[in-house]
Chains A and B, each alone.
Chain A
Amino acid sequence: MKALCYALFACAFNLLLGYTGLLSFGHAAFMGAAAYGTGWLVRSGGLTPELGLIAGVLVAAALGLVVGLIAIRRQGIYFAMITLAMAQMIFFICLQAPFTGGEDGLQGVPRGKLFGLLPLDNDLAMYFFVLAIFVAVYLFIVRVVHSPYGQVLKAIRENEPRAISLGYNVNRYKLLAFVLSTAIAGLAGGLKTLVLGFATLSDVHWSLSGEVILMTLLGGLGTFAGPVVGAFTIIGLQNCLADRVGSWVTVIIGAIFVVCVLAFRRGFVGEFIARRKKPAAAEPAAAAPAQVKAHA
């Protein structure tokens, strides 16, 4: 269930980086803020889980809107650094705000009853609840990417000046993608709080933002299944290794990062797709230049 939550988070991130070409280095902030929001409202406000999740999504989307409005003004590497800095701000707010429990985090969040009927304390029920949400969001992302809107996003990723010259309001598209992505990240955060029963500072910390980049990169940028594969791999690795090797986990994660960037930029799924396409790709390659001319 934890891995599914992170997979959801990675999918949200992939929507932004893989399909829009925006590298956010502060995505953990949205996940974490929603985790706190959901957790606090469910525990202290007595909200039902579904309302708590919606509240978490709203919190994340609102934050995403604010951060996005500021960050969208710069591109590429600056965008990454600005999102990182804004995320750090959210981290400190979470550390100091009165309701977050400071260093201890928010403990003992009840799972409650879904729609007031189905008790989620049962792990199996919770599992299917998480799975259902995951599948729904996954299909939603596929739908978004294949929609005309998604095609415009891809166009922006490939060639922003051209998209502008075609008359698209690029910044509005990018902002919407950012908010969408942060909302899904928020959903992942809220779910995670319900599953584990707590929200802590590590949900907001920027090292998680780094991890989600790695999950997406390892699995394959801009592929649908990639982030899921990546998230399961990384969470699995952490679970297996954490007890045995202590701090070396960080070293291993760092090393995977380095290897990925140097030799393996397409990731597992991307590599797989590229291999399968290779024999078929030889033929259209000859036809491709003509096609380009036709479009030009």
Chain B
Amino acid sequence: MTEIFGIPIQAFMGQLMLGLVNGSFYAMLSLGLAVIFGLLGIVNFAHGALYMIGAYVAWFSLETFGLNYWMALLLAPLVVGALGLVIERTLLKHLYKLDPIYGLLLTFGISLIFEGVFREQYGVSGQSYSVPDALQGATNLGFMVLPNYRAWVIVASLIVCLGTWALIEKTSLGAKLRAGTENPALVQAFGINVPMMVMFTYAGGAALAALAGVLAAPVIQITPLMGTNLIIVVFAVVVIGGMGSILGSILTGLALGLVEGLTKVFYPEASNIVVFVIMAIVLMIRPAGLFGKEK
């Protein structure tokens, strides 16, 4: 069998794989959003910008200090996480008592600032980042040739996603986090430092975004706009998955990446909007999202 639904199987699987790679980015980003929204009640519009900065940190550290990919994978989340700490301490902490809409607007402003600075600095043309030596080449699976780097992206993001999920759902730290989202005052009364927890949650979410940025750097063009273009799709993913659910955002992210890949095979013109169409349909049937709970 060399064809599937009249499409050469090589091309078909290739698009499917591309979809899965995109899906892993969606999953990682929407996971970070879900975690931040869960504890802070803030829709982090700056998430796309943090993802973009993550990719730039990788590129910059290679160009300037000659740090390799693996170092960047460690460095970028640290740098961006620290940036997240600063943002949370100086700006976001003033907003917790207000309507979540203000959080959205504030982070929107922040993302504009970052985007403008990077555009001024590096222009709109893309930078490219080469695939690390260890992951170059491709493996022939018989029915398709799989580039090693893409396989690594999928595996790595799955590990990160599942790790985060386990941390929040299965450990005592996670239990405290979840309790903090339900009733911060009570948790504080038990002697847990909630403001600190909130601070590190935001930093953690930011670090997740940066990690996705470094993973994405070799597959895409690094541009100041790469985050803003992605963030809207990720918002749609979050709406479809249901905002409160961590597992929901992971699964929905992967699934939507696949659907997008499939659409690209059969009807390329629609691939940009298929996610939003799905969102509309899902909302008509289940207003709280696939995994969300009706409040």
Chain A residues proximal to chain B, CB less than 8 Å: 23, 25, 70, 73-74, 76-78, 80-82, 84-86, 88-89, 92-93, 95-96, 206, 210, 213, 217, 246-258, 260-262, 265
Question: At the interface, yes or no: B43 with Cβ under 8 Å from chain A?
Answer: yes
**Contacting residue for A257 out of B112, B238, B279, B284, CB 8 A:** B112
User: For residues 214 through 243 of chain B, which have their beta carbon under 8 Å from a beta carbon of chain A?
Assistant: 232-233, 235-236, 238-239, 243
- Known pairs A70-B283, A89-B273; A81 contacts B43 (CB<8 A): yes
Q: Is the CB of A23 within 8 A of B276?
A: no
The 10 sampled A-B contact pairs (Cβ below 8 Å) are A73-B287, A77-B100, A80-B43, A81-B238, A88-B233, A96-B272, A213-B105, A252-B116, A254-B113, A258-B91
Does B110 contact A77, Cβ atoms closer than 8 Å?
A: no
Contact, CB under 8 Å: A261 / B243 = no
Query: Given A81-B235, A86-B276, A76 and B100 touching (CB < 8 A)?
Result: yes
Residues of B within 8 A of A95 (CB): 272
CB < 8 Å neighbour of A70 from B101, B275, B284: B284
- Pairwise interchain contact A261-B235, C-beta atoms closer than 8 A: no
Known: A73-B283, A77-B43. A258 touches B109 (CB 8 A): yes
Contacts of B117 in A (CB 8 A): 251
Closest residue of chain A to B280 (Cβ to Cβ) is A70
Verify if B99 is at the interface (C-beta below 8 Å from A). yes
A82-B239, A206-B232, A251-B117 given; A88·B101 CB < 8 A: no
Nearest B residue to A79, CB-CB: B101
In angstroms, how far is the closest chain B Cβ from the Cβ of A251? 4
Which B residues are closer than 8 A to A by beta carbons? 43, 91, 94-95, 99-102, 104-106, 108-117, 119-120, 232-233, 235-236, 238-239, 243, 269, 272-273, 275-277, 279-280, 283-284, 287
A262–B87 CA distance with the chains assembled, in angstroms:
13
State whether A82 and B279 are in contact (beta carbons under 8 Å apart), knowing that A73-B287, A217-B105, A261-B105 are contacts in the complex: yes
Closest approach, in angstroms, between the C-beta of A34 and any C-beta of chain B? Answer: 20
Q: Decide: A92 and B272 in contact? CB cutoff 8 A.
A: yes
B115 to chain A: which residues have CB within 8 Å?
Answer: 250, 254
Minimum CB distance partner of B114 in chain A: A254
Output the least CB separation between B242 and chain A (Å).
Answer: 10
Within the complex, what minimum Cβ distance (angstroms) separates B196 from chain A? 22
B residues within 8 A CB of A85? 232, 235-236, 239, 275-276, 279
Shortest beta-carbon distance, B259 to chain A, in Å?
Answer: 15
CA distance A89 to B278 in the complex (A): 11
Q: Which residues on the A side are within 8 Å of B277 (C-beta)?
A: 89
Q: Are B283 and A254 in contact (CB under 8 A)?
A: no
Shortest Cβ distance from residue B285 to the other chain A in the assembled complex, whole angstroms: 10
When chains A and B are docked, how far (Å) is the Cα of A254 from the Cα of B117?
11
Bound Cα distance A256, B112 (Å): 10
Contact residues in A for B233 (Cβ distance below 8 Å):
88
Asked if B287 and A210 make an inter-chain contact with CB atoms under 8 angstroms apart, the answer reads: no
Q: Is the CB of A247 within 8 A of B95?
A: no
B106 touches A261 (CB 8 A): yes
Most B CB atoms within 10 A — which of A95, A246, A247? A247
Q: Is the CB of A74 within 8 A of B283?
A: yes
B205 to chain A, nearest CB (A): 16
The residue in chain B whose Cβ has the minimal distance to the Cβ of A66 is: B280
Contact yes or no, B111 A254, CB < 8 A:
yes
The contact of A89 among B101, B120, B235, B276, by CB within 8 Å, is B276
**A260 cross-chain contacts in B, Cβ below 8 A:** 105, 109
* A262/B239 in contact, CB under 8 A: no
Q: Which residues of A contact B102 (CB under 8 A)?
A: 261, 265
B119 near A254: Cβ-Cβ < 8 Å: no
Contact B112 A253 (CB under 8 A): yes
Closest to A97 in B: B269
3 closest Cβ pairs, A-B complex:
A257-B109, A254-B112, A250-B116
Question: Given that A73-B287, A250-B112, A250-B115 are contacting pairs, would A80 and B106 also be in contact in the complex, using a CB cutoff of 8 Å?
Answer: no
Cα–Cα distance between A286 and B101 once the two chains are bound (Å): 32
B232 touches A84 (CB 8 A): yes
Point out the residue from B94, B243, B275 that lies within 8 Å of A262, measured CB to CB.
Answer: B94
In the bound assembly, the distance between CA atoms of A260 and B279 in angstroms comes to: 32
Report the Cα distance A95→B271, complex, angstroms: 13
**Distance in angstroms between the alpha carbons of A70 and B287 in the assembled complex:** 9
Partner of B269, one of A88, A96, A251: A96
Contact A76 B120 (CB under 8 A): no
Report how far A89 CA is from B269 CA in the complex, Å.
12
* CB-based contact A210/B112 at 8 Å: yes
**How far is it, in angstroms, between the C-alpha of A84 and the C-alpha of B233 when the chains are bound?**
10
CB distance from B223 to the nearest CB of A (A): 13
Give CA–CA (A93, B270) in the complex, Å.
9
- B116: chain A residues within 8 A (beta carbon): 247-254
Residues of A within 8 A of B283 (CB): 70, 73-74, 82
